[in-house]
Structure formats: structure tokens, C-alpha cells
A and B are shown apart, each in its own frame.
Chain A
Amino acid sequence: MQERQALGGKVLTVPFKVCAAIVLIGLFFLGKRFIFGIGSVTNMNDGYPWGIWIAYDVVVGTALACAGYSIALIVYVFNKGEYSPLVRPALMTSMFGYTLAGISVIFDIGRYWQAYNIFLPWLSNLHSVMFEVALCIGTYILVLWMEFAPTLLEKFKAARLQARLNRIIFVFIALGILLPTMHQSSLGTMMLMAGHKLSPLWWSGFLPLLFLITAVVIGYAAVIFESLIASVAFKRPLELHLLSKISALMPWLLGLYLVIRIEDVNLRGYLPLAFEGGLLGNLFLLENLLLLAALLILAYPNNRQNPRLLFIASCAMLLGGSMYRFNTYIVGFDPGTGWRYFPSVPELFITFGIIAAEVMAYLWFVKTLPVLPKFTKA
């Protein structure tokens, strides 16, 4: 089995302190939200009942956190064990991403003190897509912690517990593949209900499928991005051979996505909207051009060996995929009757605070826990 090590080193570095400051500002506004109501810190309104807290923290955030899902998919299902050095860091990103998305939902929902209502059998609405998403994400957060538990147990040398967990871990791994497949596609299904309020450039019967593909695409891109950054930041050798191999999958996935995405809009007769020069049309083009650019870069095996091009391609996928999701939830959404929405500064700071908390947790974990693969300086 692959050996891992904690990086060690000082935890309280400058980036760590900057993040802590952002978290504090976020906490201040959060206090305000709980005392004076959601309207006192956000620009959300009756026309735009969901703002960046849902669109970014949950819808984009959990896609970025699909790193663990995407890697588990190839490692376990397609039996490519060679990728397993990527598993732990990916799982960890997922664990943080999902946990924080779960926490940010509590900030967002108005009647958080009775959030458990949806899980009371006599109140659960089995027909609600939101119910399915909440149940799947909730369970998945637990599953991620269970999947990550061996790392913690390794650290605390709890060998007995570790052995016991290892005997049943396959159930959690299986759930860890099924649950994201379900809720990531359902995040798309959710916006089907918006109907005529969502621009036809985004509203489509294919929303569930397109959301699922973007989750996988963004998940892989996050693995590549994170691995490259970690190598540079912590001065470790590049895991290039692995990264270039998983990147070989991407052109296929991106190709499939783009064909469905464009052909769907075309068949419904709305493609001309994209070229009218309006904001929505331009965003639609930009979103798809970014993904196309990634496809073109990664289609050439030589490019996949080049860390710089890999990095650019992963950024394009992260941006393009996230934009698709963001546009579906916010920009393409128009309730009519003149409503407008642009996030307020406090609202943004709460989101920044969540991102900063994630970075802090990442730094702390990789330095103190055996997450990254071991290497010895040659």
C-alpha cells in the first residue's frame, strides 16, 4: 500500500493568518444575519430568493468538492489502483467542501432551528427534489468523514478501530460513488421547476445529465489544479504521470457534454439567442468556449505532459463548469417584474469566510495528518 506522510512544518503561516482574518469578518456579518434577519446582510429578495450562498457555496462548491467522487470513480469502479495516491487529498477536499456547503445551508435557510423537519417521516416530502438533495448531501457528508477516518485513525494509531473500519469501508466507498451521482444530477433537476423563469439557454430537460457531467469534469479539474498547486507550494515533485493519465479522459467527457449542451439548445430552437450579443448570450458562449478550450488542449497527448498547459486546461474547466452552474441558478434566472440581484458586500464576505475556512483546514490537515503521498528526496 502507498505510504503517506504528514508534511509537518509551521501551521501559523501568513496565508493562514490572512484566512483567519477573513473568517472573522465573515463571522461578524453572520452574527448580524442571525440577529436581524437574512435581509439585513444580503441583497436576496422575493424575486431572487436564492443568491450566492446557494449558487456558489452549495451548487458550485459541492461540484468543486467532487474531486473525491471523480477519483473514487476511476480508482474503484474502473479498477485503476495506480491513481490511489490522489485519493486521500481528493477525499479531503471533498470532505471540507461538502461539510462547509452543509454548514452554509444552515446560514441560508430562514427557519434553521427546525431544519430537521425535513427528515421527520411525517413531514418529509418524497416528491421534493430538494428533499432528495438534502438527504443525499447529508448522508454523503457522513460517508466522506467515514472514508477519511482511516487517515485520522492512522494518525492516532488506533489500529484496532482501523482494522474494524477497514472491514466495512467498502460500503462507504460504494455510497460515496452512488450518492454524488444522485444529488449532483438532482441539483440540475431542481431548476427544472423554475420553468419559464429560467432562460431557455439553460432551462432544459437535460439539466440533470448536464449537472452530473459538470460535477465530474469540475471534480477532475479540481484534482489536477490542487495537485499542481500543492506540488509548487510545498515544493514536492509533480504527480505528472498520474495527472496526464486522468486528463486523457477529459476530452471525451467534455466532448459529450458540449454535444448535448449545444444540440439541446439548438433543437429547441434557441441557439440564435446565443449570438444576439446580450449578456446571457455572451455568457452562454463564454461558458462553452472555456470548456471547448480545455478540450482542445487536452486532446493532444503531448499537451497533457506539460504542467503549464494542464494547469490552464484545469482552470478553464473549473471556470466553464462553475459558470454553467452559476448561470443556471442566478444569471439565467429572471423572475420578471423588474427584480434585480447582485450580492452585497457582507453577503460576499460570508462566502469568502467559508472559502477561507476551507483553505485553513486544508493547510492544517496536510501538515499534521498523513494525507499526501510520501516521497524521499533523491
Chain B
Amino acid sequence: MKIRRRDLLKGIAASGLLVAAEQSPAQAKRARKDLPPNAVGILYDSTLCIGCKVCEYACKQANNMPVEHTSSKEVMWDDPQDLSAKTLNIIKRYGVEGPKDTVEGFAFIKRHCMHCLDPACVSACPASALVKNPENGVVTYNKKACIGCRYCQVACPYNIPKFEWDSPFPEIVKCQLCAHLLVKGGISACCAACPTGASLFGPVEKLRSEAKRRMAMEPGEYYDFPVANIDGTEVQQHRAGAYVQHIYGERELGGSQVLYLAGVPFASLGLPELPEDSYVALADGIQYAIYKGMVYPLVVLGGLIYIIRNREEKKE
């Protein structure tokens, strides 16, 4: 029996509907990503941060970043207001005068790339200019691949990648966890410079347990806190802060390799409340449901060619 064009058409339409029915957008998402085997990251403890900004200076030194003058040309020192194409790392202060680490007072937060487990920037980049190292999980940038489309900026939930708007040959700029120091066996410059251990470098698993240890501490009591590198030897004694019982970055959008602890709710530090499934997983899931790895488009194309050729032949 010859297949009639209309039947074929109906078949195509029906399979389209089937895809739609079988996969409602809310269910279509793929599994979460695991921590890379030797994942390293940073634990930033807002209660230990004294706002000295030494890490900002160290970051600029280590990464050859220029000084930024935002308030006036006369100001001699570096005074970035936010992350920018000249500033990879910034300490921000939220709140008013009053006791530190309280909602009525103020608190510090350090912002730079989170080195997400399921990075939106990596998935978004059409040219693989942003890649996540499969070993240590660091998300790095390759200007030789980048086409400057800025989809990474749209996609990053934390607004981290910055663009050189005033250059005819612009690049994307972001923290790469001092990958150039890591390969030489070093640690990130910001953590190495931090005088109190507020920025602590180390394997993510260890940082997670360290964060849990801190959240269980009795506020106001003295404890030992590792400084610079969790695998290092330097230790300082500090009073434990009154921690919010939440490690920001542990689960947000599938988790990240940079983790935050604070004495005030994270929303008041400019960190958005986020679901546990990444938008990447959702988008991937929907793309996959629609295309099933390009099988559906090819089937449809075959059908279309068949229909149209038949029609064109009849016309002659």
C-alpha cells in the first residue's frame, strides 16, 4: 500500500504533539552534575572578613589588572564600585553603621566567579571559549575562541563575566580561580593574601565540611580557623560568628565551588535566592525532549522532502 501524503503529514503532526504531551516543560530537565574529582574552590566567611580589600589588591597584582578610578580622576587609588572588565574580585559592604554581621548593622561579601558545577556560561558559549576543567572544575576563558556574543553574560546567574565595552578588540573578563597559579602548585592570590582566613582556598569537599564545622560552633566562643589554604599549616584563633545555617553555593543551581558563610541572610548581601536545579539542566532537558539528539529534525526533514518532491513532480 502506498503511503499517502496526508497520512504521513498526520504522522509528523502527531509525533510533534506526542513530544509536547510526553514532556511538559516542568519535568524536562536532565540530572545534576557531580563535583569534579579534584575540585578546588574558595570558602568565604563573611563573619571573618574585615573589609581590608587586600584580596582585591592581590587579585589585581596576580592577574595584571589595571587600577580602576570610578569616583573621580583625582582619586589616586583603585576604587571599583562593582566587578568590571578591570576588576575580577570585589569586597562589598551591605548595610549601615551598626554592629557588624547583623541585619541592623552591616556585613561584607566578596564577589567573583562561583565556578559553578553546572556553569550556565559554559553551556551558553557557542564557541567553547569558556570551559570547565574536568579535573579541578575551574572555569576558564580562552580569548582565541571567543566571538564576543556575550551570551555568557546573559546566562550567568551571578552576573560575573564582564566585557571590554570600550575596546575595538574586546575580551570577556572573569575570575579564573588563578588557574595560572594553580598549575604551578600555588593557591588563589586572594586567599593567599587574606589576613584573617576569611577567604580560604582548598578542595571543595574539605571546604564543605569546614563550613559545616563552623555552623555548628557556639557563637562567641574561640575556635581554630585555618588561614589561606585549608591544607596549609597556618591557623588563627577567632570568636565564632552567629552563622546563618546555610552554605550559599552548596546547592544553589546545582552547586558551585565557591561557598559562602555569613551572619546575615544572603539575600541582604545581594545574593539571589535560587532553585536547586540549574537553568542549564532545564534548558538542556527541553532541547533534548524536542530534538532527541537531532533524530526528530532529520525525520521531519525526510518527511518534508518526500511531500514536497511529490508535489513538485505532480506539477510538471
Stretch at the interface among A177-185, A243-251, A299-307, A309-317: A177-185
Query: Is A296 an interface residue, CB under 8 A from the partner?
Result: no
Closest to B16 in A: A181
The answer to whether A38 and B165 touch (CB under 8 A), given A118-B126, A129-B287, A131-B126, is yes
Task: Collect the chain B residues with CB atoms within 8 Å of residue A39's CB.
Answer: 165-166
The distance in angstroms between the C-alpha atoms of A264 and B287, with both chains bound, is 19
Query: Is A336 an interface residue, CB under 8 A from the partner?
Result: yes
| 15 interchain pairs, CB-CB under 8 A | A37-B164, A37-B167, A39-B165, A109-B149, A110-B163, A111-B170, A114-B147, A123-B145, A130-B125, A170-B312, A174-B305, A194-B154, A194-B155, A205-B25, A205-B26
Q: Is the interface of A mostly helix, strand, loop or mixed?
A: helix
A117 and B307: CB pair below 8 A?
Answer: no
Query: Is B301 an interface residue, CB under 8 A from the partner?
Result: yes
Min CB distance, A54 to chain B, in Å? 9
Contacting B at CB under 8 A, from A172-214, are 173-175, 177-178, 181-182, 185-186, 189-197, 204-206, 208-209
Query: Is A266 an interface residue, CB under 8 A from the partner?
Result: no
B interface footprint on A105-140 (CB within 8 Å = 1, 0 otherwise): 000111110110110000111011111101000000
A interface footprint on B262-300 (CB within 8 Å = 1, 0 otherwise): 000000001010100001101110110010000001001
A111-B148, A177-B304 known; 4 new pairs, CB 8 Å cut-off, are A171-B305, A173-B304, A174-B308, A193-B123
The answer to whether A195 and B162 touch (CB under 8 A), given A76-B307, A112-B147, is no
Task: Collect the chain B residues with CB atoms within 8 Å of residue A1's CB.
Answer: 315
The distance in angstroms between the C-alpha atoms of A94 and B234, with both chains bound, is 66
Min CB distance, A63 to chain B, in Å? 19
A interface footprint on B147-172 (CB within 8 Å = 1, 0 otherwise): 11111011101010011111111110
The distance in angstroms between the C-alpha atoms of A38 and B55, with both chains bound, is 31
Query: Is B128 an interface residue, CB under 8 A from the partner?
Result: yes
Query: Is A231 an interface residue, CB under 8 A from the partner?
Result: no
The answer to whether A205 and B308 touch (CB under 8 A), given A46-B162, A117-B147, A175-B301, is no
Min CB distance, B92 to chain A, in Å? 10
A127 and B127: CB pair below 8 A?
Answer: no
Task: Collect the chain A residues with CB atoms within 8 Å of residue B304's CB.
Answer: 76-77, 173-174, 177-178
The answer to whether A36 and B166 touch (CB under 8 A), given A123-B127, A128-B151, is yes
A204 and B25: CB pair below 8 A?
Answer: yes
A196 and B272: CB pair below 8 A?
Answer: yes
The answer to whether A195 and B279 touch (CB under 8 A), given A49-B150, A111-B146, is yes
Query: Is B227 an interface residue, CB under 8 A from the partner?
Result: no
Query: Is A376 an interface residue, CB under 8 A from the partner?
Result: no
Query: Is B309 an interface residue, CB under 8 A from the partner?
Result: yes
The distance in angstroms between the C-alpha atoms of A211 and B136, with both chains bound, is 38
Closest to A136 in B: B297
Query: Is A335 an interface residue, CB under 8 A from the partner?
Result: yes
Query: Is B103 an interface residue, CB under 8 A from the partner?
Result: no
Query: Is B210 an interface residue, CB under 8 A from the partner?
Result: no
Query: Is A13 an interface residue, CB under 8 A from the partner?
Result: no
Task: Collect the chain A residues with CB atoms within 8 Å of residue B85's CB.
Answer: 46
Task: Collect the chain A residues with CB atoms within 8 Å of residue B9's CB.
Answer: 77
Query: Using a Cβ–Cβ cut-off of 8 Å, how many residues does chain B contribute to the interface with A?
Result: 66
Closest to A75 in B: B311
B168 and A37: CB pair below 8 A?
Answer: yes
A interface footprint on B91-129 (CB within 8 Å = 1, 0 otherwise): 000000000000000000000000000001001111111
B168 and A205: CB pair below 8 A?
Answer: no
Task: Collect the chain B residues with CB atoms within 8 Å of residue A177's CB.
Answer: 304
Query: Is B24 an interface residue, CB under 8 A from the partner?
Result: yes
Partner of B165, one of A44, A175, A185: A44
Partner of B301, one of A131, A178, A204: A178
Min CB distance, A340 to chain B, in Å? 14
A109 and B5: CB pair below 8 A?
Answer: no
The answer to whether A205 and B24 touch (CB under 8 A), given A77-B9, A112-B148, is yes
B124 and A205: CB pair below 8 A?
Answer: no
Query: Is A40 an interface residue, CB under 8 A from the partner?
Result: yes
Closest to B170 in A: A110
Closest to B146 in A: A111
The distance in angstroms between the C-alpha atoms of A195 and B163, with both chains bound, is 20
Min CB distance, A175 to chain B, in Å? 7
Task: Collect the chain B residues with CB atoms within 8 Å of residue A47's CB.
Answer: 159
Query: Is B84 an interface residue, CB under 8 A from the partner?
Result: yes
Task: Collect the chain A residues with CB atoms within 8 Å of residue B307's CB.
Answer: 76-77, 174
B126 and A195: CB pair below 8 A?
Answer: no
Query: Is A352 an interface residue, CB under 8 A from the partner?
Result: no
Shortest Cβ-Cβ A-B pairs, 8 listed: A205-B25, A110-B148, A39-B165, A111-B148, A174-B304, A49-B150, A49-B153, A131-B126
Query: Is A34 an interface residue, CB under 8 A from the partner?
Result: yes
The distance in angstroms between the C-alpha atoms of A194 and B280, with both chains bound, is 9
Query: Is A45 an interface residue, CB under 8 A from the partner?
Result: yes
The distance in angstroms between the C-alpha atoms of A190 and B283, with both chains bound, is 8
Task: Collect the chain B residues with CB atoms within 8 Å of residue A81's CB.
Answer: 315
Task: Collect the chain B residues with CB atoms within 8 Å of residue A124's CB.
Answer: 126-128
Task: Collect the chain A residues with CB atoms within 8 Å of residue B168's CB.
Answer: 34-37
Task: Collect the chain A residues with CB atoms within 8 Å of residue B159's CB.
Answer: 46-47, 335-337
Task: Collect the chain A residues with CB atoms within 8 Å of residue B308's CB.
Answer: 76, 170, 173-174
A205 and B286: CB pair below 8 A?
Answer: yes
Task: Collect the chain A residues with CB atoms within 8 Å of residue B155's CB.
Answer: 193-194
A125 and B126: CB pair below 8 A?
Answer: yes
Task: Collect the chain A residues with CB atoms within 8 Å of residue B290's CB.
Answer: 185, 208
Closest to B172 in A: A110
Task: Collect the chain B residues with CB atoms within 8 Å of residue A175's CB.
Answer: 301
The answer to whether A169 and B312 touch (CB under 8 A), given A49-B154, A197-B157, A205-B26, is yes
A interface footprint on B166-208 (CB within 8 Å = 1, 0 otherwise): 1111110000000000000000000000000000000000000
B283 and A125: CB pair below 8 A?
Answer: no
Closest to A339 in B: B159
Min CB distance, B305 to chain A, in Å? 4
